[in-house]
Structure 1
Amino acid sequence: MNGAFRFLAGVALAGICVFGGSGVALAEDAAVLAAKFGALESVRQISISPDGQKVAYIATRNGGGAVLSVVDLGAAAANVGVPKPILAQRTEGQTLESCDWATDERLICVNSMVYDYSGYLMPIERLFALNADGSKVARLSADTGSDTLGFALYGGGVIDWDLPGKPNHVLMTRYYVPKVSVGSNVTHEQQGLGVEEVDVDSLQRHNVEHPFSEAYRYITDGHGTVRVMGVRPMRGDDEMGNEINYSYRAPNSREWKRLSKVTIDASGLASGFQPVAVDGAKNVVYGFDSLNGFDALYSIALDGTDTRQLVLAKDGIDVDELVRLGRDRRVVGASFATDIRRSEFFDPDLKKLAAGLTKALPGQPSITLFGASADESKILLLASSDVDPGTFYRFDKAARQLSPLLPVRAELAGMTLGAMKPITFPAADGTQIPGYLTLPPGSTGKGLPAIIMPHGGPASRDEWGFDWLVQFYVARGYAVLQPNYRGSTGFGAEWYRQNGWKSWHTAIGDVNDAGRWLAAQGIAAPGKLAIVGWSYGGYAALQSAVLDPDLFKAIVAVAPVTDLASYKLEKGTKMARDFVGTGPHVQEGSPAQNAAAIKAPVLLFHGDHDINVDIGESRMMNNRLKAAGKQVTFVEFPGLDHQLADSAARTRLLVESDAFLRKAMGLQP
């Protein structure tokens, strides 16, 4: 923890030792490997204090739950570099999501849980504050009280950490619920999203933006002033509409002026300028909008001229993320994913720093900025790659020191992982489909048991980097191909099509063509091709066998949607109904309604506290397959959500899925 690494001539680093090594994972027992890869991250979230002398991180707790620890990196600290646990959380359905520094001595944490109300699962989130030594724990989210005419599931969020002259204060959103005065007819009708200034020590609070029933979002300038508001008008049926109207304020003004309108169509695609961040010094707002069918980054002046400038665009790919740094979350760059996610920095010093770190660290890893001290003299960053889960570092600009802090996954230290290679393969209509192929280290790449692993979403995509699920199967000797089928995001509107539900035939066709390509290339051994997927990927795994029952020898589906009609009812909103759509594709694209067509054995996993995809989807699939006389195994995880964020559960998933695949393919255990 105390080792320091210095720049040589300002561009190179000497003596770096990151986690990784030459161990051969294939020699290990399946259960041992499953425990290593199934373990949750050693560091699930991390932040750096305003003075840059401390980091706080959330680690997985032995036996479940989480532990919040603080590491003092100051030279004068009695136990410099030694983690001090300050808060332990049991499981009990709760998740400690994040903890960030409000001051040098006080943290704000987010806690979430899924509440089962008579069989209806509700996500609840609350904020609390505590000192760096674990003392003075206090709830920060406003108490709705017993006199409210409802219950706020959302406990608010911090939208500004840097209020000039008020070091103990933050700006928080708050969802106001109407109140009634007991014993009278007096009603306080304030309702909707507003903004409060909160003292994290005294817990005193006062309103700075009155609640508005249709308010959707607030964006500050990073220095305590709300500059942009999004309003999403309700429909006549009391559901959110498909438009978001954004307004802005000029400096030193309280008057709202029109900024942009964003329209979300029935396929889920948004059009119009979507603001993300405000730079108060430049008096501009940054946001994304379409350019020739691809997302690009723009800025709009907030001085009344509405001057719009293109900041960054890339041919054939979406620019989809901002790179932000510091207490004020200033915009320092933007990123986009081609074969590998890349960042383009607007700040010249950060551009040089990132390039130098990438070249100097072994393996030339990807560099992700995770935060900085108030003066940005100390930067918290993550160095990771496809074969390295990553290590967190603190970089001291003045001393030009890079100090390793913590590995993301300590259990995988010393293991050789499979390289993730960007590839393309032809779909049936000749379209080249991008994807990632990962092979077992040291293998010939031919005649292997192989897995197609479609991603979730469907409005998502796979990217280059460490993946615990992929790497486990690779360590067990499988080749794994992750296709970015049509319906994925990041490749423009034309690639997204009508989304992966309405255009399921194209999306699933691409997934199946990935399997045919593996076989044609000789990568997949004859009769040894399977499909594994999570969420929409689980749906794709099941529906692939409806489209081509003879292609895969085994199907593993984790938390899958199985019936599009029931999925629409579960979501219960018109937007969800529009997203899935109506027509023949609802029945034809539902594996539960076509279970008789599936020939391969099926293994299902699902948590019964899943609020993304109700466990009823897997229960239905299990029953339909059994009724059709098919081979199916169903594993339910009590108390777990969509991510199955539990080391024991994930280990079981890996052990049992590996054994299932090997049996179906005729492989040795």
Structure 2
Amino acid sequence: MALALSGLASASAKEPADNAARFGALESIQDVSLSPDGNRLAFIEQGPNRTRRLLVVETAEGAKPRQILTSDGSGGGNLSWCGWVTNARLACQTFVRDNVEGDILAATTIIALDATGGNMRILSNRRSLRSLYADFRGGSVIDWSSSDNGSLLMSRSYVPEGDVRTRIVSRAEGLGVDRVDSVTGAARRVEAANRDARYYLSDGHGNIRIMATQGYLSSTGQFEPTVRFFYRPKDGGGWKPLAQNDVVTDSGFQPDTVDAATNRVYGFQKIDGRMAVVAMALDGTGAVSTIYAHPEVDVDDIMRVGRNGRIVGISYVTDQREAAMTDPGIAKMTGALSKTLGGKQIVIVDASADEGRYLVRAESDIDPGAYYLYTPKARELRPLLVPREPLLDVALSPVKAITYPAADGTMIPGYLTLPPGRSDARGLPAIVMPHGGPSSRDEWGFDWLAQYFAQSGYAVLQPNYRGSSGYGDVWYKNNGFQSWKTALGDVTDGGRWLLSSQGVDAKKLSIVGWSYGGYAALQSGVVAPDLFQAIVAIAPVTDLAQLKAEESKFGGGTINDRFIGSGPHIREGSPAQNAEAIKAPVLMFHGSFDQNVDIAQARTMRRALEGKGKRVELVEYPELAHSLETSEARTDMLRRISAFLPH
């Protein structure tokens, strides 16, 4: 297997001068795809602030990228992803957010353009001035396979029109499926709009086989907590009931991928309280086969390659992400590539139509990742793009999987990252960094925030506390809000373990968290006020009652009422309602266009702490979302955190 010595230069040629800028920089490559013939790449490059550029380049060595489109996140929106319709035509999604009378709303649009930048077309449904209401869904591409003629199978939203001054109006409402010509924009209806439809799945060969619906409760106007799935027989006909899934408990079956060869749909369903991959027959028999179940953790991904979405395996996370490949050829290929690249994890990003070329990404805990072009016939692996070039000369810290005891004796899994060159944490300043979610978990690999703190001299503990997903129902409890006492107990016990077992400096122990992790950081100051010497909360939830009220505005009230629950924990588990107990200084960050956690949550916390005479600062980033999606904001945040934390 030949490993070339040179590749395409990544977009950001200038190296930042300090670690805050190095680690705060977003990946320069936000999205990348391979043309059907394997001869060209399209990639979205992250520029200053919210500027993004779409570039196309030949895969031949030495080729120069050509910019064909630029977006800056303002009125026209920003680029999200791009894919190849044909060797000469691209389809891209743009998105825009805005504050509309106090509510942060987002809209997406699918566009198409030539690989040379010309003949741009909007493929999403255009809105009529007679539309009875706004629908900001731009739809999605659900099948790229039958695109030799430049057309795509797309879901598109329809809004009924009023009939003032005209008799020619559309009564269609909801999400339907159209075949859309990416060159002319002409569309042909494939599936009539359904008001309750949420998404559709194709078989990878141009046939719609699955429809997901979620209705509204007429009494409240809120979404139902149940998603219902229907299938269409292979030979056509009407929709037939298949399965349903409770979005709060994740019980039932959730279809993910249709396998045309076996006339089955692969999806996720719990077996013995852990998520597994199962296949349901689409022939009316209701036959179910278990494809893969793990005895300790959830199976969370079905791996596919090619324009038809061919299933090649599944993956799950124990201490590290692992794969169980169902395609022997792909298993052999990814194994050989991993060996060639020193044991790094291999992700197949894209493939040419004949799978004669593969676009792969290789990464590890001490490698933020790089893109390669692999040609199996020539046994050639060639580097293409480096998305975090500022870190190329930085010696990153290995991430070690550990366990520590909670107060009740339960062993809590997590990850420990030490400063470069350190084999123990004795005498170091330290940070406990609980993950967001709460329906999430940390996994082994590169983490820009943990690596930044390690470079700054801190020992960093990332606990997968009870309430995390990925370990099954018993570990998940009733999620990290209803079971907050258990979750926060595990988080604070992680801090105590760093002190008692690892010997970190008690005067320099802090906690930093994002989203639910920010909630956990603040609430840890309530339940263990003398443990952490500083608290940093990024985009945090701070008041559970307020959170329930906020979610009701957008139709999620019933679902979130069940998820968050009711009872004494609403007040007891809200840091904003218990600000008087917090002793440590608090630093918070929040984007004003956050649609995941309203910035009002952080403002409520600031008022509560100020009202109790506590030390608190809130840094607001105008028009940024939950992830604080600019390098400038993240760099500024890292500098402020470093100045704030004891070290």
Partner residue in 2 for 1:637: 621
Return 130-139 or 535-544, whichever deviates more.
130-139
Q: 1:32 aligns with which of 12, 18, 28?
A: 18
Partner residue in 2 for 1:24: none
Partner residue in 2 for 1:600: 584
Within-5 A mapping of 1:219-238: 219-236=201-218, 237-238=220-221
Within-5 A mapping of 1:198-213: 198-213=180-195
Partner residue in 2 for 1:542: 522
The total of aligned residue pairs comes to 635
Gapped regions of structure 2 (runs ≥ 5): 10-14
How many angstroms does 1:63 deviate by?
Answer: 4.7
What amino acid is the match of 1:65? T
Partner residue in 2 for 1:583: 567
Return closer, same or farther for 1:81/1:330 CA change in 2, 3 Å cut-off.
same
**Aligned mates of 1:15, 1:174 — CA distance in 2:** 45
Partner residue in 2 for 1:3: none
**Aligned mates of 1:118, 1:407 — CA distance in 2:** 41
Within-5 A mapping of 1:210-609: 210-236=192-218, 237-264=220-247, 268-362=248-342, 364-445=343-424, 446-572=426-552, 573-609=557-593
**Aligned mates of 1:297, 1:261 — CA distance in 2:** 15
Secondary structure of 1:179 counterpart = coil
What amino acid is the match of 1:397? P
Secondary structure of 1:657 counterpart = helix
Secondary structure of 1:655 counterpart = helix
Secondary structure of 1:501 counterpart = helix
What amino acid is the match of 1:659? A
How many angstroms does 1:413 deviate by?
Answer: 0.8
How many angstroms does 1:389 deviate by?
Answer: 0.5
Within-5 A mapping of 1:165-204: 166-184=148-166, 188-204=170-186
How many angstroms does 1:248 deviate by?
Answer: 1.2
- Asked if 2 retains the 8 angstrom alpha-carbon contact of 1:609 and 1:642, the reply is yes
How many angstroms does 1:185 deviate by?
Answer: 6.7
**Aligned mates of 2:232, 2:524 — CA distance in 1:** 51
Partner residue in 2 for 1:132: 115
**Aligned mates of 1:156, 1:576 — CA distance in 2:** 25
Secondary structure of 2:404 counterpart = strand
Q: Does 1:156 align with 2:156?
A: no
What amino acid is the match of 2:234? P
What amino acid is the match of 2:436? G
What amino acid is the match of 2:492? N
- Asked if 1 retains the 8 angstrom alpha-carbon contact of 2:576 and 2:604, the reply is yes
Return closer, same or farther for 1:59/1:186 CA change in 2, 3 Å cut-off.
closer
Query: Which deviations, in whole Å up to 9, do the C-alpha atoms of 1:508-555 show, x marking residues without a partner?
Result: 111001100011113421211100000010010000010110000000
- Asked if 1 retains the 8 angstrom alpha-carbon contact of 2:4 and 2:380, the reply is no
Query: Which deviations, in whole Å up to 9, do the C-alpha atoms of 1:306-329 show, x marking residues without a partner?
Result: 322111111111011110110011
What amino acid is the match of 1:159? I
How many angstroms does 1:47 deviate by?
Answer: 0.6
How many angstroms does 1:442 deviate by?
Answer: 0.8
How many angstroms does 1:189 deviate by?
Answer: 2.6
Secondary structure of 2:506 counterpart = strand
- Asked if 2 retains the 8 angstrom alpha-carbon contact of 1:228 and 1:249, the reply is yes
Partner residue in 2 for 1:657: 641
- Asked if 2 retains the 8 angstrom alpha-carbon contact of 1:418 and 1:439, the reply is yes
Query: Which deviations, in whole Å up to 9, do the C-alpha atoms of 1:406-429 show, x marking residues without a partner?
Result: 012011111100111111111111
Query: Which deviations, in whole Å up to 9, do the C-alpha atoms of 1:310-368 show, x marking residues without a partner?
Result: 11111111011110110011111110011011111111000000111111113x11111
- Asked if 2 retains the 8 angstrom alpha-carbon contact of 1:479 and 1:523, the reply is no
**Aligned mates of 2:127, 2:7 — CA distance in 1:** 51
- Asked if 1 retains the 8 angstrom alpha-carbon contact of 2:6 and 2:382, the reply is no
How many angstroms does 1:186 deviate by?
Answer: 6.9
How many angstroms does 1:14 deviate by?
Answer: 8.3
What amino acid is the match of 1:536? Y
Secondary structure of 2:561 counterpart = helix
Q: Does 1:100 align with 2:69?
A: no
Q: What is the TM-score of this pair, normalised by structure 1?
A: 0.92
- Asked if 1 retains the 8 angstrom alpha-carbon contact of 2:7 and 2:384, the reply is no
What amino acid is the match of 1:638? P
How many angstroms does 1:59 deviate by?
Answer: 1.1
- Asked if 2 retains the 8 angstrom alpha-carbon contact of 1:18 and 1:391, the reply is no
**Aligned mates of 1:81, 1:585 — CA distance in 2:** 60
Return 92-101 or 291-300, whichever deviates more.
92-101
How many angstroms does 1:123 deviate by?
Answer: 1.3
Q: 2:608 aligns with which of 624, 638, 643?
A: 624
**Aligned mates of 1:60, 1:14 — CA distance in 2:** 26
What amino acid is the match of 2:176? G
Secondary structure of 1:44 counterpart = strand
Secondary structure of 2:223 counterpart = coil
Return closer, same or farther for 1:18/1:585 CA change in 2, 3 Å cut-off.
farther
Secondary structure of 1:102 counterpart = strand
Return 507-516 or 226-235, whichever deviates more.
226-235
Secondary structure of 1:654 counterpart = helix
What amino acid is the match of 1:189? R
**Aligned mates of 2:416, 2:528 — CA distance in 1:** 22
How many angstroms does 1:207 deviate by?
Answer: 1.1
Return closer, same or farther for 1:179/1:17 CA change in 2, 3 Å cut-off.
closer
Gapped regions of structure 1 (runs ≥ 5): 1-5, 8-12, 20-27
Query: Which deviations, in whole Å up to 9, do the C-alpha atoms of 1:597-651 show, x marking residues without a partner?
Result: 0000000111111111111111111111111011111111111111100111100
**Aligned mates of 1:74, 1:442 — CA distance in 2:** 40
Greater than 6 Å deviation, 4+ residue runs: 14-19
Query: Which deviations, in whole Å up to 9, do the C-alpha atoms of 1:247-292 show, x marking residues without a partner?
Result: 212212122222112223xxx2211121101011221110111111
Return closer, same or farther for 1:192/1:505 CA change in 2, 3 Å cut-off.
same
- Asked if 1 retains the 8 angstrom alpha-carbon contact of 2:48 and 2:631, the reply is no
How many angstroms does 1:181 deviate by?
Answer: 2.9
- Asked if 1 retains the 8 angstrom alpha-carbon contact of 2:243 and 2:253, the reply is yes
Partner residue in 2 for 1:25: none
Return 125-134 or 302-311, whichever deviates more.
302-311
How many angstroms does 1:385 deviate by?
Answer: 0.5
What amino acid is the match of 2:159? V
Q: Does 1:122 align with 2:105?
A: yes
- Asked if 2 retains the 8 angstrom alpha-carbon contact of 1:180 and 1:186, the reply is no
Partner residue in 2 for 1:647: 631
Q: What is the TM-score of this pair, normalised by structure 2?
A: 0.95
**Aligned mates of 2:59, 2:6 — CA distance in 1:** 19
What amino acid is the match of 1:38? G
Query: Which deviations, in whole Å up to 9, do the C-alpha atoms of 1:215-242 show, x marking residues without a partner?
Result: 1221100011001112223222232212
- Asked if 2 retains the 8 angstrom alpha-carbon contact of 1:45 and 1:98, the reply is yes
Secondary structure of 2:222 counterpart = coil
Secondary structure of 2:149 counterpart = coil
- Asked if 1 retains the 8 angstrom alpha-carbon contact of 2:396 and 2:420, the reply is yes
